[in-house]
Chains A and B, each alone.
Chain A
């Protein structure tokens, strides 16, 4: 059970250390998820590659095109307190206040939060609704992956073992408004039983465009395309039909947070409330 902890100082060195078929070699950012898995015995590492000493992975800045660039090692607490984030993506600021507790937020980092692949998380569905993408570098060519395409299944992502998320880019949210509703089943600081993220490009009751994403209750954050279609066509009056369609279009998980049947009911309620919340802001 002995394992090595390595602290590369450049991305290139990190890629080299990660470039192996051994699934027990992992990058380590905040370690909050990895440590839990190690404690429960699900994961016993052979090598942990600590990213903390690699320069260039920190900070939050506003790019010329109005997008936010967020370094992968930015802690969730830094994100929560950032004025830039509060100004350009206030829904993120708000969601973070309800993400676990301060001790976790002080340590967990955005790269880890997106690469983890556990469905019971808040940022993957939320950033997906914001149309965010991750900037990925690796031994080979760098690439960009939309957050929506990043998580491919239960604890599965489209990242290669020798690839790292170096930053997250949230595009300009101008003319978009968002809401995120989190439902916890066991305690207020629990992981979500259900998360619903809604982004609307709407004026008054006209919905020009929208993105609806459900997380936690499903195996991976899932876009509710059918419901989006209904709302795009029918506006607010299609809300009831849209929530019905959402319930029918995804597969819910039974787990320690609750039964699939209940989560289905929760989705209807929380999706309706999230959309209404935004539309009500405009009236």
Chain B
């Protein structure tokens, strides 16, 4: 198919607005009579609240109110929220479960007064034993939640209701074939364990929400990735119909999964309704470390390999450190867990994936939704096996790669998944077959390649509508949140393509649940595929109506629409509107009791990275000389935007690979600020980066497109570990791989 608007690398529609300081960010909103909120947070990792003394805080001039969990109960009798479990209280009630948990809120006319008053609150706790490590949490006596509270809406979580005395929020199991038999007869058996650390999303726009009470309604302005979910969840908490809760979202200054589901929305709504004034709560960068994070994890992986270097069976045990509240962790455990055996063609598999509660800040979705943790382990494992067998690591992957038409371990037949093409692109661009200079003296060089894949969370729904004005311009209504990934532009390109107008003539209405239709959320690289399909359908619906109109008024039925002419003929002047509506939900089959399904994902994401590193063996310093990213991008709607998604994802994962780590001491994050939690700066970016779009038409995608936002995160960490190994003979199995860690691995702990 030849397209004119789809496939065009036009700059982002909102770019000029943003760089000239006119971006429509939630931070800029001022509401008449608004008060500012400051959160008072727990200082103990696990404890029963004995008392909260707010008297000094309320006495401070300028303070409007001090609100605790008990006050919230007045308007929300069951104030527990969450997308998978209803386990997180709006403000702590009987217990606190991590250092930094919101316990009370001060409202004041001035944010600085609110901050000062928050320091005057005193809470007394009976401290309880705490647990931080995911493996210890499996058997620990310290129990974070007395009872499991899965959200009743999910049938697959129902069996967990009321479970007691456990920190395992959810266990997911997949069983295919007879792995035990395969291991018993295997030529080689390999077993390794890998770990990842807790990290943070670090969006540069910290979390912010405002709420304005109305007459039997509330309006929430929020930097949210999921306005539709926020509306229904706040409505559920209040016991109101959804149409009385309005959620409005402007531009986001980054999200990466930090702004999903409910974060501050329920709190500001409750506060505003309690004091009957608009309330603004804006977190500092530092407070984000106490709000949502990325799962730390431990992954035990074991493979059986035959004499030809083919993997015949694999066992995976993955333990996810979900922190004090489940957030979306249980879904990470399942929906990413089932890909734990990797993009390989393996006959038999056992997967056990566990979501654990611990007394850490909660973990949720972060760019990759658990996949980077899995790829880190299975690709490191793959390289170690290849080394032991003396097979080139690319060749070893070739022998085992999962090709289209073959079944994934779930039983789903692979389709439109260019796994082999991604691997071959990397091998070619890394010049893999050419001799490689491993350096000399104390500067050693090495290289590595790793690939990974991801299923898309399913089944989820997107709805869009397109209104076509009589002059031929179009307005697109959708609840997909453009947080910098360029979705507004890509969706407009789809509309323009269908209606045969210019993308620049499409205007996108930012999410407003009173106006824009439902969307599950902007997460997991689902928007291009799901919302893209909905938008395409909406535009096609409008187009059909226009064609019908044309026919009715006797205009020639041509393929090229002359929209203004059609309206003029129909209404005698420039008048009227045509509204097209589109809804998309993919087909899906729920996994059976063995975790198997013949239709487990609407599409696959495939990405990989190759790196060349230089290791200074005297100091442990690791320098990336070259980074090559490649991903199956379907048919890219906007190649330039897609390419920046590749480099952005890879650089983000590079931070999680070599430097970023939330360090805890007694449950307290000791580096909760950008001064001590270091994300990559411009000089940490490899001098040579290549991003390769592997084009592979996705048959069910809009114009062949698929999601692209996470794919380049997959391979980065294991590729760096392999490159270090190749350079200096040391294998690191725990992230982050800092200079000091490598130094100690090279030289031993003591002098």
Binding site for B on A (CB under 8 A): 1, 36, 39-40, 101, 183, 185-190, 256, 258-259, 261-262, 264-266, 269-270
Contact = CB atoms under 8 A, between A and B. Distances in A.
B663 A256 contact: yes
Interface residues of B, number: 32
Given A256-B671, A265-B619, A189 B681 contact: yes
Contacts of A36: 675
27 contacts: A1-B112, A39-B673, A40-B673, A101-B681, A183-B621, A186-B659, A186-B678, A187-B659, A187-B678, A187-B679, A187-B681, A187-B684, A188-B681, A188-B684, A256-B671, A258-B739, A261-B750, A262-B620, A262-B743, A262-B744, A264-B751, A265-B618, A265-B619, A265-B743, A265-B751, A266-B619, A269-B619
Nearest to A101: B681
A104 to B, nearest CB: 11
Contacts of A187: 659, 678-681, 684
A101 B675 CA distance: 13
Given A183-B619, A187-B684, A189-B681, A258 B740 contact: yes
A1 B115 CA distance: 10
B315 to A, nearest CB: 36
Contacts of A186: 659, 676, 678, 738
B749 to A, nearest CB: 8
Contacts of A40: 286, 673, 675
A189 B681 CA distance: 7
Contacts of A189: 681-684
Contact of B670 (A39, A256, A262): A256
Interface string B721-751: 0000000000000000011100110010111
B395 to A, nearest CB: 36
B116 interface: yes
Interface in B612-651: 618-621
Nearest to A97: B683
B625 to A, nearest CB: 14
Contacts of A264: 751
Interface string B261-291: 0000000000000000000000010100000
Contacts of A262: 620, 740, 743-744
Select the residue from A1, A101, A183 with max chain B CB neighbours within 10 A: A1
Nearest to B112: A1
B553 to A, nearest CB: 61
Interface in B676-703: 676, 678-684
Nearest to B623: A188
Nearest to B673: A40
Nearest to B749: A261
B116 A185 contact: no
Contacts of B112: 1
A256 B618 contact: no
A39 B744 CA distance: 34
Contacts of B116: 1
Contacts of A270: 619
A262 B682 CA distance: 26
Contacts of A259: 740
B63 to A, nearest CB: 13
Given A185-B740, A186-B659, A266-B619, A261 B751 contact: yes
Contacts of A256: 663, 670-671, 676
Nearest 10 Cβ contacts at the A-B interface: A188-B683, A186-B678, A187-B678, A189-B681, A269-B618, A1-B116, A258-B740, A262-B740, A188-B684, A186-B659
Interface in B59-116: 112, 115-116
A183 B621 CA distance: 9
Contacts of A258: 739-740
Given A40-B286, A188-B683, A256-B663, 13 more contacts: A1-B115, A1-B116, A36-B675, A183-B619, A183-B621, A185-B738, A187-B680, A187-B681, A256-B670, A256-B671, A261-B750, A262-B620, A264-B751
A187 B670 CA distance: 18
Contacts of A101: 681-682
Contacts of A183: 619, 621
Contacts of B675: 36, 40
B57 to A, nearest CB: 13
Contacts of B673: 39-40
Contacts of B620: 262
A109 B464 CA distance: 54
B560 to A, nearest CB: 51
A226 B601 CA distance: 68
A230 B659 CA distance: 37
Select the residue from B621, B678, B738, B751 with max chain A CB neighbours within 10 A: B678
A259 B740 CA distance: 8
A188 B681 CA distance: 7
Contacts of B671: 256
Contact of B747 (A185, A188, A265): A265
A190 B740 contact: no
Contacts of B738: 185-186
A46 to B, nearest CB: 14
Nearest to B675: A36
Select the residue from A189, A190, A258, A262 with max chain B CB neighbours within 10 A: A262
A269 B619 CA distance: 7
Nearest to A262: B740
Nearest to B751: A261
A183 B740 CA distance: 12
B41 to A, nearest CB: 13
A190 B673 CA distance: 13
A264 B618 CA distance: 12
Contacts of B284: 39
A190 B112 CA distance: 29
A256 to B, nearest CB: 5
A39 to B, nearest CB: 8
Contacts of B683: 188-189
A189 B749 CA distance: 27
A186 B673 CA distance: 13
B728 to A, nearest CB: 15
Nearest to A186: B678
Select the residue from A39, A188, A270 with max chain B CB neighbours within 10 A: A188
